[in-house]
Structure formats: C-alpha cells, structure tokens
Amino acid sequence: MTSRPSVSGHVVVLGAGYAGAHAARGAREGGVQVTVVDPSGDHGFLPRLAGVAAGRSSLGDARAALEDLVDVDVARHVAERVDVARHEVILAGGGRLSYDALVVTVGAATHWPDVPGLRRHATSLRDAEDALRLRATLPRTGSLVIVGGGSTGVQLAAELGRARPHLAITLVEEADRLLPAEPASLASAAGRLLRDRDVEVLRGHRVRRVDAGGVDLDGPARRRDGTVLWVGGWQAQGDALLREATTRDGRLVVGRHLEVLGAPGVFAAGDVAAHRDLFGQPLSMSAQIALQAGRVAGANAAALVTGRRRRTARLLELGRVLDVGGGRGVGRIGPVPLGHLGTDRVVPLLHLSVDLRHLWKLGGARAVIEHAPGRDVGVTATVGATGTRLRAVG
Ligand SMILES: Cc1cc2nc3c(=O)[nH]c(=O)nc-3n(C[C@H](O)[C@H](O)[C@H](O)COP(=O)(O)OP(=O)(O)OC[C@H]3O[C@@H](n4cnc5c(N)ncnc54)[C@H](O)[C@@H]3O)c2cc1C
C-alpha cells in the first residue's frame, strides 16, 4: 500500500459498504485522517448474498475486513445520531466521536409494509447474517414462496432453483412482470431462466396475509403454502440519524457536491442518499452508484477540511448484471439486454470483472482465474498490502 499522505483534519465515514469503502479511500487520498464507523467493520458484497444463501459461495466470498482493503482506522460501533451543530457522532452506548467533515453511507434496510403476519412469519435477505441463516434453515424439500420479483427475488429464486432441485419454489410479483424497474426485454429473459430452473412465477398478485404455513394472495391463485421469504424492497432511514436534514422516502437529499441539504459539513452517498444522474433523473439503489458517489463524497469531505475545491458528482448508471450461478445470468450494458441467444453466459464474467474493478479501485487487486471443468469459474483476488484473498465465483 502507498505511504500515508500528510494528515490534516479528520473525516468520519459511517458505514463500510460500497459507498463507505470508496468514501474512505477518496478521503484518504485527500490527505486527511479517516475513521470508518461500522458495527462489524466488514465490507460486504451484497450482490453475492444470494449465492451464499444457496450455498454456492462461502461467507468469505461476500465480505472482507475493511482495514484489509483500505488504509484507514475502523471503529466497530453503531452510529445512533449526528449532532451537526457540535460536529459529533453519537454512538450506541453513549460514546461520541468528533469530526471535521462527515460522510453518511449507512445503506438501507428491508422495507416491511403493513401486511398482516409479514414481519412475524417471513424472513428477508439484506446482510451476511441473513444469508447464513437462510442457508441453515431453508428446507431442501417442501415449498418456498419468495415475494418480490425485483432483482434480488429473481436472483435468489434462480440460485435456489439450481441449488435445491427438490424444493418447489414460487416467485410472487405484484406488478404484471418481473424486474419492473428494468426494460421489458430483461423480464422475458429472467422468466425463461426461471422456467429452466423450475420456478413457478406468479405476476400481478399482491400478498394479503402471511401466516406460519404460507401466504394468501389476491387474484385467482389465492394461496401458496411454504416457507415465506420477503424481498419486496429496501427502505433508507437517513432521517433517524440526521434529524435536521431534508429527506425523501428516508433518503438524504444532497446537492451537487453530495453535501446533505440542511446539514453543513455532512455528505451522504449510496442507498441512504437520494442521488440523481447526469440528466437530473432519480437513481435507484445500486452498488455501482454507491461506489461512484462514495468516492466523490469522501474526496469532497477531505476537500472541505483542507480548503481545496470540491467536485461535482456526475453519476452514471452503466447497466445491471444478475449472476445466478451455473454460468448464467441476465443483465444489460446500458440499454442493451443480456440474457438472450447465449448472452446469458456473458453475465457471470461481467459480474466478475465489475467486482475486480471495484477491488482494484479500492486497494489494488491481483487476480488469479481458476476453472475446473464442469464447475463455476472462480477468481481469487489478492487485495491490498495485507494480501487479503477474496474469491468471486461466476
Ligand atoms: C441481496 C442483495 C442483492 C443485491 N444485488 C445487487 C446487484 O446485483 N447489483 C447492484 O448494483 N446492486 C445490488 N444490490 C444493491 C446494492 O448492494 C446496494 O445498493 C449497495 O450495497 C449500497 O451500498 P451502500 O454502501 O449504500 O450500503 P450497504 O452496502 O448496505 O452498506 C451499508 C453499511 O453501513 C453499515 N451501517 C448501517 N447502519 C449503521 C449505523 N447506524 N452505524 C454504522 N454503520 C452502519 C452496515 O453495517 C453496512 O456495512 C443488492 C442488494 C441486496 C441486499
């Protein structure tokens, strides 16, 4: 790793996810001292969680200690609130941490709508602990109902369809097609892939009630029995941390330098921030936007402290890749769909290259590609000065 630049000022980053890791790196390059606050101190690769839940990837493929990737201090704590006037973060348990500039990157959590029985009887998939719990508790036979046909639901249903062939899997989506946030061509490719893996897809069905035995739906297919998994959406809770800030649906509203409106000296990036693209269009929550925004927010926090010029965030959504194991996937590069005519085979490789680029931009990575005939392709990346090894499986 490069030698530490001379230090003037202290930037605190809340969260060690995609946005937090890149914010830490961006601030470090700006010549300030950086402390990242995160309960586990691990940088999590959330797009790999479905693979962990299905048993295709190990937990070590889906997270790494942040200090092995970026040369910063990590404080293993939960941030409870920010005192903007005093430039302090209030930690769970009562401790306080002062900052010269702050970057909030605490991500989002599962959104639990007010459906009777949902919170009590369904489980979700948001972090490594959820993935391990699912892996240990999901039945091998019987029935599973996955509610939410967005990218996480499609990925999980396809992974489990392959990993648990004796489990009858139903994927329920409220909209009239899968992947409602994506172009229709992706939805048809996802539908074909799920058919190949014997997943039943119910579109246009709202969940009315969940109990210990399954779900009641509206519409003609009224009941599905089985274990229930809810992946119907994410909810940011930026307002809980920063009471004086302006928020939209719990996401912190930021200006062009990613400074939070109503909270001077505080920047935000990733799922917790309401980002817009180059053309002013709202951006959905994604890893690629989180890492782009994190880098700018971290650099701007350092620039504020050291009196340098701040950068305008120019965020660009380049595409989407959903790797579902077995060398297949669906996705798109810009508007061009992948998943038809054999292009589904390209997606896992694209996913690997996206992961490697992410690691390389964080700390520099060397990659070794392994491929045993009939098995998934694996890439082992050696990252940073400590030589942390991460394995991505495509
Ligand atoms: C199962 C799943 C699959 C996904 N697949 C894809 C995909 O294929 N492609 C894609 O682009 N996106 C995907 N996403 C979305 C993507 O992972 C997120 O948009 C991205 O992780 C956002 O990065 P972030 O840094 O904002 O938040 P996160 O990655 O969620 O990181 C937030 C961090 O903040 C920490 N934290 C939370 N609260 C506090 C607190 N109070 N104090 C301190 N630390 C805190 C958390 O521990 C965590 O480390 C997926 C998400 C999930 C859950």
Does some domain include residue 50?
no
Q: Does residue 156 share a domain with residue 83?
A: no
Record the tokens describing residue 222, joined without a space.
């009224």
Q: Does residue 242 share a domain with residue 102?
A: yes
| Mutation probe of ligand 1 site: the residue of 52, 156, 286 with most atoms within 8 A of C-beta | 286
Does some domain include residue 56?
no
CA 80 to ligand 1: nearest atom: 41
Last residue of a domain, one of 278, 306, 334: 306
Q: For residue 26, how far is its CA from the centre of ligand 1 (angstroms)?
A: 18
Provide the domain limits for residue 371: 319-393
Q: Does residue 157 share a domain with residue 89?
A: no
Mapping DSSP to helix (H, G, I), strand (E, B) and coil, where does residue 166 land? coil
Paired with 268 in beta bridges are 104
| Contact between 394 and 379 (Cβ < 8 Å) | yes
Q: For residue 313, how far is its CA from the centre of ligand 1 (angstroms)?
A: 20
Q: For residue 242, how far is its CA from the centre of ligand 1 (angstroms)?
A: 19
Mapping DSSP to helix (H, G, I), strand (E, B) and coil, where does residue 172 land? strand
Q: Is 331 in the pocket of ligand 1 (CB under 6 A)?
A: no
Q: For residue 166, how far is its CA from the centre of ligand 1 (angstroms)?
A: 31
Q: Does residue 133 share a domain with residue 97?
A: no
Does some domain include residue 59?
no
Burial tier of 363 (Cβ tally within 10 Å: 0-12, 13-18, 19+): buried
Domain count, the chain: 3
Q: Does residue 192 share a domain with residue 127?
A: yes
**Residue scoring higher pLDDT (9 or 367):** 9
DSSP letters spanning 122-165: -B--SSHHHHHHHHHHS-SSEEEEEE--SHHHHHHHHHHHHH-T
Record the tokens describing residue 168, joined without a space.
């009858």
Task: Give the model's pLDDT for residue 371.
Answer: 53
**Residue scoring higher pLDDT (259 or 59):** 259
The pLDDT confidence band at residue 350, using thresholds 50, 70 and 90, is: confident
Please check the confidence at residue 384 and state whether its pLDDT lies above 60: no
Q: Is the dihedral of CA 238, 68, 361, 300 positive or negative?
A: positive
Give the C-alpha separation, 387 to 394, whole Å.
22
Name the residue at shortest CA distance from atom 52 of ligand 1: 46
Q: What angle do CA 372, 373, 375 make, to 5 degrees?
A: 70
Q: Does residue 242 share a domain with residue 104?
A: yes
Which strand (E) or helix (H) includes residue 3?
none
| Mutation probe of ligand 1 site: the residue of 36, 40, 46, 292 with most atoms within 8 A of C-beta | 46
Give 127-183 pLDDT, tens digit per residue.
999 999 999 999 899 999 999 999 999 999 999 999 999 999 999 999 999 999 998
- Each as own residue / partner, the long-range contacts of residues 222-228 (CB below 8 Å, 24 or more positions apart, any chain) are 224/143, 224/145, 224/170, 224/172, 225/143, 225/145, 226/142, 226/143, 226/144, 226/145, 226/168, 226/170, 227/138, 227/139, 227/142, 227/143, 227/144, 227/145, 228/121, 228/122, 228/123, 228/145, 228/147
| CATH code of the domain covering residue 175 | 3.50.50.60
Q: For residue 121, how far is its CA from the centre of ligand 1 (angstroms)?
A: 24
Q: For residue 6, how far is its CA from the centre of ligand 1 (angstroms)?
A: 31
Q: Does residue 357 share a domain with residue 262?
A: no
Does some domain include residue 14?
yes
Q: Is 52 in the pocket of ligand 1 (CB under 6 A)?
A: no
